[in-house]
Amino acid sequence: MCHVGAEPAVEVAGDAGARRRATMGPALSKANAADTEKLREKIKNGGARMPGYKLALNDEQINQVIAFLKTADTPITRLAASHPGE
C-alpha cells in the first residue's frame, strides 16, 4: 500500500474528492533496489515512516522480497489478486 503507484501520483480519497499522494514511500522497482545491503537493513529495521519486518520475516524471506524487487523493470503500480468471475 505504501509503495504502490508512481510518484508523484495522486489519487482521489473519499467522497469529498480530496486528493492525496498515492504513495508514502518510493515506488518499488529494481531502480530502487540497487543497494542490497541498505535495502535489507531498511526492510528489517524500518525507518521514520516505515515499520521494520525483522519479527515478521526471516532472512530468507527478506532475500526473496529483494530478489522480487530486482525483477521489476518498471515501478510496481498495482498489487492485485485475481478473483474468480472477474
Higher pLDDT, 75 or 17: 75
Give pLDDT tens digits for 23-69: 567 777 888 788 999 999 999 999 888 899 999 999 999 999 999 98
pTM: 0.65
Cα maximum dimension of the chain: 44
C-alpha grid cell for residue 37? 545491503
pLDDT band at 79 (very low <50, low <70, confident <90, very high): low
> How far apart are alpha carbons 43 and 27 in whole angstroms?
15
Q: How confident is the model at residue 7, as a pLDDT? A: 46
